[in-house]
Amino acid sequence: MKQERILEALAALPVETVDNDAFFWVGHVLKKEGLPCSVWEQWARGDRRYRPGLCEAHWHRLDPEKCGLDGRYIVHLAQLAGRLPPNEAPRGAAEPEEERKLSLSERSAREDALYAEAAAEDLRRAALWQREQEECDYDGLPYTETLDRYRDAPPEPPEALIGGLLRKGHKMLLSGPSKAGKSFLLMELCVAIAEGLPWLGFPCQRGRVMYVNLEIDPTSAIRRFLAIYKALGVPPDHMGNIVIWNLRGHSLPMDQLTWPLIRRVNQFPCDAVVVDPVYKVLTGDENSAAEMARLGNQFDRVCAQTGSSVIFCHHHSKGAQAGKKAADRASGSGVFARDPDAQLDVIELDPDERQRALAKPGATGWRLEASLREFPPIPPRYFWYEYPLHRPDEEGLLKEAAPCGEGTGRRSTPQLRQQKLTEAFAACQRGGAAALNDLALHAQVNARTMRDWVAENGDAFWLDGRTVREKGRGAGRQADPGRP
């Protein structure tokens, strides 16, 4: 069959009318008829199941020699869909000269013979197709592949959406205590992605993001976004990159929400989907590993069908969290920590009087810890929550603060700081003087914090440039030239 006829039938065949099996048989036929993969790819773009690279990934596995079908299969599908009349002749086809010379009875007999031959051929090909289906046993799942295919050309990883944390098409969980400003933190992330700004110090690639609002009053949600833009002081040049889907009062379990969400993301192609909060779409008991695995599978389906990252937030379990690992603080099954590609946890800190005095009035201190699958581990990040923004602790004031509820045994109190300074000085001093950097290294704090400790204990120590001296000993004496 001529390629023009096949392309004509393919253009008339809506991709959404074929099932998964027929979709891949169309690919077999196109390859067998000598047409390129781009034809299959272009036809598939009209379907909600399409994702970039799908056809190309399967094309090299299609074996035309094992396919018992040809271009007439595509014509047949178009006819079944009602887009081509039965036995329609190709456009522009001219009746051969010998056909015109036949009498009516001869032509009728010839048509009957051709029809019988075609019917027999259709039955034969249908049997081959059925046998081919049974042999291939295609179940809609990805094909297996051997590693040597990538020996000389390793695949490139997806681009990073949030530098050092999350790639496109991957999942991220943000967990934290109730009323901790998690929604504001996620809204700030939406603005950062929309405008290409840093988020808590992490660079974000500019793109479109959908915020699925399940908890906040729609009016309040919009006002929060506007307040964040105003507090950031950035022009809203790309505000249109934020798509809001308000579902408060209309939420569904995730297994029922998945396909409506996929349709909307395909309508507004997004780089990220933020689900806030996840407990509103739970598909079962959050303490059941099996139920939470099903929830994770639904998020995987959204990622696979749209190419978007899925970011969702969850609350901490009840009770004190300071003694737990960051990955164990989220309420419910441990699947919450194991399933996402990136798991971020925030915990409130309890700054002392000195640290609070240096912060803005009403600000609360927080620490972010991360468990990452695709990137190297990162040190904890510290930030202040100054409504409506979360500002990184660039001064390093919070590094010595203990988590709320940890107790005073490990809190940074004036007595504890004095004890640490005295012990460090005793270990590092030489002739009644010690280098500031040596003291900081011994006490495992930064130089700025050690400088604050010396100033706080001015009755016993004093600072001479970068050298700490003990009062009453060696006043006016030069620091040891052999030390920095």
In a domain, 73, yes or no: yes
Confidence of residue 98 (pLDDT cuts 50, 70, 90): low
> What does the pLDDT average to over 118-137?
57
Residue 443: give its domain's CATH number.
1.10.10.10
Give the pLDDT score at 384. Answer: 94
116 vs 405, which has greater pLDDT? 405
Final residue before a domain boundary, out of 344, 374, 403: 403
In a domain, 153, yes or no: no
Give the pLDDT score at 32. Answer: 87
311 has pLDDT over 60: yes
380 has pLDDT over 80: yes
Same domain assignment for residues 396 and 419: no
Same domain assignment for residues 427 and 358: no
Residue 396: give its domain's CATH number.
3.40.50.300
Same domain assignment for residues 342 and 309: yes
Confidence of residue 121 (pLDDT cuts 50, 70, 90): low
> What does the pLDDT average to over 368-388?
94
Final residue before a domain boundary, out of 377, 403, 429: 403
Same domain assignment for residues 399 and 419: no
Same domain assignment for residues 231 and 164: yes
Give the pLDDT score at 172. Answer: 97
Same domain assignment for residues 218 and 367: yes
pLDDT in tens, 158-189: 999 999 999 999 999 999 988 788 999 999 99
> What does the pLDDT average to over 200-215?
96
pLDDT in tens, 53-92: 778 777 877 777 766 677 888 888 887 777 776 554 433 3
Final residue before a domain boundary, out of 356, 379, 403: 403
pLDDT in tens, 210-247: 999 999 999 999 999 999 999 999 999 999 999 999 99
In a domain, 476, yes or no: no
In a domain, 176, yes or no: yes
Same domain assignment for residues 237 and 379: yes
In a domain, 120, yes or no: yes
In a domain, 482, yes or no: no
In a domain, 155, yes or no: no
> What does the pLDDT average to over 7-32?
84
Give the pLDDT score at 120. Answer: 62
Give the pLDDT score at 309. Answer: 97
Structural domain count, the chain? 3
pLDDT in tens, 436-466: 988 888 887 888 888 889 998 988 998 988 9
Same domain assignment for residues 176 and 131: no
366: β partners: 348, 383
Same domain assignment for residues 418 and 396: no
For the ranges 28-37, 96-105, 183-192, the maximum mean pLDDT occurs at 183-192
Give the pLDDT score at 410. Answer: 46
Give the pLDDT score at 417. Answer: 85
Same domain assignment for residues 365 and 389: yes
Same domain assignment for residues 430 and 350: no
Same domain assignment for residues 385 and 419: no
Lowest mean pLDDT among 80-84, 197-201, 295-299, 391-395: 80-84
| Alpha carbon 43 to its chain's center | 28
Q: Which domain holds residue 132?
A: 3-136
Percent of the chain with pLDDT over 90: 39
Give the pLDDT score at 101. Answer: 55
In a domain, 478, yes or no: no
Give the pLDDT score at 358. Answer: 85
